[in-house]
Every structure is written in C-alpha cells, then in structure tokens.
Structure 1
Amino acid sequence: MSTDEYPDRLRWRVNGERTLYDNRWVRLVQVDVQAPDGNRWWHHVVRLNRVAVAVVLDDADRVLMLWRHRFATNEWGWELPGGIVDGTEDGAAAAARETEEETGWRPRLPLRRLLGYQPMPGMVDTPHEVFLAHGADKVGEPTDTEEAAIIEWIPMTEVRDLIDNGKVLGSGSLVGLLLALTAERR
C-alpha cells in the first residue's frame, strides 16, 4: 500500500504551533493537534537539529568508534562519530567533518548515504542520516574538545556483543552499526 492510499480519516490534523522555548540546540513547541478520533489538544514536541552519523570501516574490517560518557543519562558507551548538520551543509559533508573533528581521522570520499530516519517521531522531530565510508586517513588529533573520548577501531566481529551488552549508545550508532552488520556486509 502506498502512502497515497491511506485513508484520510486516519490522519492527524495540525491546527497550529507555538514555541515555548528556543535556543541553538533545542526548540520545545506545543502543537495544536486533532487526533483521528476527533479529540483536540496541545501536544508537546521537541524539535532538534538534523544529525549526520558516519560508519567508517577500514580494510581490516573494523569500525571507527568513540568511548564516551553521556551526562544526560549518566552512561558510558561506544558511539559512531557524528553530530549536527550546520545550516545548509550537506549531510555527507557533515558526517565527514564531524568524524574528523571528533576523531582526527578524515573519511575517504565519497561517503554513501545509507538511510534517513526519525528516531522518535511521536514527540521528537530530529532527522537523522547515516553515511558509510570505506577507509580514513589520520590527519591529526581531534579538534572538538567537547566531544573528548577514547577513539578506537573496533573489529566488526565484536560489534554485536557490544550491542547485546548495552555498550552502544544512541540510535544513530545502533542503526548505523546494525546496517553495517546486515545489509552493508553482503
């Protein structure tokens, strides 16, 4: 069934939106919605910037990752490099830039877009894109001191165990690694 064939009676209606809080990182809004059953209310939505994540694989079948602490959830774990897409920047360019800033490794071009998705579309609007690079060149030390981390090339044979044991943080990292383990490995 194509999206054109879905009955209009199942569509949520948006009647307006008002901003409650806004800065360069996050915008909290209330959206005046009407559900398919006719009920209408103000629903909270968090709007975040577009994010680009890089899966960088080397010739030894390893993936470039960062071990870091995330204060919001007070967790340590492995992540893929990535971050916010600046302004009109292309997603692939952002993934390459973020990789170099966070790790000191410059992905070899071209990066290939694997997919785009919304990790929590019920309450959060934050478009994510995942890109794949084959190879990278060490160009220096990381320049993004806010993202300070331990940087390692992790064998792909260890990735599934890291995921199973809760050692991978964030949907961008999980989605990217699962793609690398499945469709991209064929």
Structure 2
Amino acid sequence: MVDVEPPDGSRFEHHVVRLQRVILAVALRAGGSEVLMLRRHRFVTDQVGWELPGGIVDGNEDSVTTAARETEEETGYRPVGAGRKLVEFQPMIGMVDTPHEVWVFDQVVNVGEPTDAVEAGTVGWIPLSDVVRMIDSGEVLGGGSVTGLLRYLVDHPQD
C-alpha cells in the first residue's frame, strides 16, 4: 500500500505490487532469420503459446548474464559472443513495478537438453517473418515477448 499525491493535491492509498527484474532474450539463428522460442502452458491464464526465454535476475548477476543463463537453461542453446540490450520497459506501470529488459544474441549453439524442468516447453525456431502474424493470432504470450519481438522487428523488418 502506498500513499499517492497526484498533481491536483488529492491523496489516496493505492495497492502496488513490486516484483524482481525480468530479463528476456531474442536469440537468433546465425543469419538472423529465425528466433529461438519456447511453446509452453501458462497455468495462471490457462494458455498455451510461444515465448522468448527469460527469467528473474539471480542475486548480483548482471542482466546480460541472466539472459544468457536463462536461454541455455530453458532451451539447451548457449549464446555465442556478446549480447546487446534491445529495450528496457515497465509492462504494467500503473500498478506493478517490474522492470523488464530484452537482450539480443546474434548466434547460439546447442549444448544439450534444457536443464530447467520447471520452465520446460517445446523449443523451436520461429521464422521472424511469421512473428507479427503469430502475435496477431494470440500465439505469442506475454508482454515481454511481444514487446521484445516487435522492438526487434522495428530495426529488422521482415519481408
């Protein structure tokens, strides 16, 4: 519960949820025409769809390390080379404080099976040319995945 005083001077109490920093990864196949995603069931909304790999920052871990670790744990693919931050945003700024970042890796290599059983899903390479259609049809879940993919496509439009 927080005490809020808007510019008009009125005051009220407002419920706010504060969550940890969330990191997602746009991991690309060499050549940049496909993105690595997971198809999962989300019990909260009882939906099945595609998402970018990602998760919560562990301890004092930096964001790019989290993006690489989560990608490997959830997909079995390890990012090669340096990642770059694509976008940082707050998905529900009116009620929830949950900073999100999306990082891009231009290449990954398969190092085995996913190791995070809790986040298990079907790992797949999605053509970037299909992403907008998939978002429009509800096949891509989560504001972080939608925001990250659309932001990437702003700089890398597909035919």
**Hey, what's the Cα distance between the residues in 2 that align with 1:81 and 1:180?**
15
2:39 maps to amino acid: W
**Hey, what's the Cα distance between the residues in 2 that align with 1:111 and 1:170?**
22
1:66 aligns with 2:38: yes
TM-score for the superposition, normalised by structure 1? 0.81
- 1:47 maps to 18
The answer for unaligned runs of 5 or more in structure 2 is: none
Q: Identity of aligned pairs, percent?
A: 57
1:140-177 CA-to-partner distances (Å, cap 9, x unmatched) read: 11110000100001111111110110111111100111
1:60-99 CA-to-partner distances (Å, cap 9, x unmatched) read: 5110000001011111110000000112211111000000
**Hey, what's the Cα distance between the residues in 1 that align with 2:44 and 2:58?**
23
Q: What root-mean-square deviation, in Å, do the aligned CA atoms of Structure 1 and Structure 2 show?
A: 1.2
8 Å Cα contact 2:22/2:99 also seen in 1: yes
**Hey, what's the Cα distance between the residues in 1 that align with 2:96 and 2:112?**
36
TM-score for the superposition, normalised by structure 2? 0.95
SS of the equivalent of 1:77 reads: strand
SS of the equivalent of 2:134 reads: helix
1:112 aligns with 2:84: yes
Q: CA deviation at 1:185?
A: 4.5
- 1:35 maps to 6
1:165 aligns with 2:113: no
- 2:155 maps to 183
1:131 maps to amino acid: W
User: Paired residues, what number?
Assistant: 157
Moved over 2 A (4+): none
2:87 maps to amino acid: L
- 2:110 maps to 138
1:146 maps to amino acid: V
**Hey, what's the Cα distance between the residues in 1 that align with 2:116 and 2:19?**
20
**Mapping of residues 15-26 of structure 1, within 5 Å:** none
1:80-130 CA-to-partner distances (Å, cap 9, x unmatched) read: 000001122111110000000000000112000012111111100000001
The answer for unaligned runs of 5 or more in structure 1 is: 1-29
1:163 maps to amino acid: I
**Hey, what's the Cα distance between the residues in 2 that align with 1:92 and 1:109?**
11
2:30 maps to amino acid: D
SS of the equivalent of 1:182 reads: helix
Determine which of 68, 74, 78 is the counterpart of 1:96.
68
